[in-house]
Structure 1
């Protein structure tokens, strides 16, 4: 399996953090576009999956750029707890 951390460190050294941040933006935009087109049957599930994986890789790179794994994990847990709460409690009417 390819080591994303090692590849990201090499990419940071080669292109710098701003370039990688620009790539995160680009990959997210491409996923948004694919999702919109998929909803209208203008793009395949495979293509949307490919774009989602690109974003996943970009997010892993973003984690390294931010260099705050403990904070990242804490915020992630808070978001998951919030989602769980929304699913357990009935929506207000």
Structure 2
């Protein structure tokens, strides 16, 4: 995957990858809204999730996997605390 991430970054640049991530997230948001109204099926959601997952993978690679993992661990700890709260 790193080879593909690097090639995409070299071909389109950082700003374009940020914009692409925003676009993919927006498409997922729209698809989820449409799912609630039975205008799309779960396969469309899966497809949009795949697009977002690829962009998140690229951003994770760009910003540093260890930094992202540490942030996720902090967020999981916070969520666990919220779930344990009365």
The answer to whether TM tops 0.5 is yes
**Of Structure 1 and Structure 2, which has the larger fraction of its residues in helix?**
2
Unaligned runs of 5+ in 2: none
Larger RCO (alpha carbons 8 Å, 6+ apart): 1
Unaligned runs of 5+ in 1: none
CA distance in 2, matches of 1:43, 1:13: 35
Q: Could you list the runs of 4 or more consecutive aligned residues of structure 1 that deviate by over 2 angstroms after TM superposition?
A: none
Q: Structure 2 residue aligned with 1:50, among 9, 33, 47?
A: 47
CA distance in 2, matches of 1:71, 1:58: 17
Does residue 1:73 correspond to 2:69, yes or no? yes
Q: TM-score, length-normalised on structure 2?
A: 0.93
Does residue 1:11 correspond to 2:11, yes or no? no
Secondary structure of the residue aligned to 1:42 is coil
Q: TM-score, length-normalised on structure 1?
A: 0.86
Superposed CA RMSD: 1.0
Does residue 1:85 correspond to 2:81, yes or no? yes
Aligned length: 86
Q: Structure 2 residue aligned with 1:36, among 33, 36, 56?
A: 33
